[in-house]
Amino acid sequence: LAKTTQPISMDSYEGQEVNITCSHNNIATNDYITWYQQFPSQGPRFIIQGYKTKVTNEVASLFIPADRKSSTLSLPRVSLSDTAVYYCLVGYYQKVTFGIGTKLQVIP
Amino acid sequence: EAQVTQNPRYLITVTGKKLTVTCSQNMNHEYMSWYRQDPGLGLRQIYYSMNVEVTDKGDVPEGYKVSRKEKRNFPLILESPSPNQTSLYFCASSLGSPNSPLHFGNGTRLTVT
């Protein structure tokens, strides 16, 4: 199983773009990369998923280089409500591996 | 409303007293799984199930049992709880295809004294 490494915490001011990078050197051919957001005492919520190159939705963008050994979640113009823990998840759907998560603190 | 429902939300019990945490989903999902979340350790998978009567161990299965007799339900059983199983537990489900996202329940906070 691919192990993931993310920064433990990040601070950002409101309105800024935030980029969170996840390393997954041992990613397998079939593995997808998925990011989740978690607020305190709630279950994680799906944000975005990709296999290669770039994926964008209404919430975020996900950048995956050709070697797929890392990925970057990009949150445009964050607000206070984006304060949460963000998990990078790598794995085929049966047995997934969560990273420890990145605690993002958005500052007014 | 599509959702994953866990019960109870909070549970305090004593060492050795068998308990069951229920999980039910109304999305006809094939795949279901259980996680525990502890400070500094993130979410760790306990067990998962790819379909009815098919279950397999995750990363931390010791001390837990599961069953999948019906598609919608995936209960987590602690036959003899111990204090080191005090944790926040999450159930999740998905369609089961490689790119289908996980839908999580709201969690069960278990305290074993």
The one-digit pLDDT tens for each residue of chain A (108 residues) are 568 899 999 999 999 999 999 999 999 888 889 999 999 889 999 999 999 999 999 999 999 999 999 999 999 999 999 999 999 988 766 676 676 799 999 999
Residues of A with CB under 8 A from a CB of B: 30, 32, 34, 36, 41-46, 49, 51, 87, 92-101
The rounded distance, in Å, linking the Cα atoms of A16 and A70 is 22
Which residues face A13 on adjacent strands?
A107
Per-residue pLDDT at A18: 98
The rounded distance, in Å, linking the Cα atoms of B31 and A46 is 16
Nearest to A39 by CA among A80, A6, A4: A80
Chain A closest CA to B4's CA: distance in Å? 10
Residues of B whose CB is below 8 A from A34 = 101-102
What average pLDDT does the segment B61-73 reach?
Answer: 97
- B87 pLDDT exceeds 80? yes
Residues of B with CB under 8 A from a CB of A: 4, 31, 33, 35, 40-45, 48, 50, 56, 58-59, 88, 90, 92, 94, 96-107, 109
Per-residue pLDDT at A7: 95
Per-residue pLDDT at A93: 63
CB distance A46 to A34 below 8 Å: yes
Name the residue facing A30 among B35, B92, B98 (closest C-beta): B98
Torsion of CA B23, A98, B62, A1, to 10 degrees: 120
The chain B residue lying nearest A35, using CA atoms, is B101
Tens-digit pLDDT profile for residues B14-33: 999 999 999 999 999 999 99
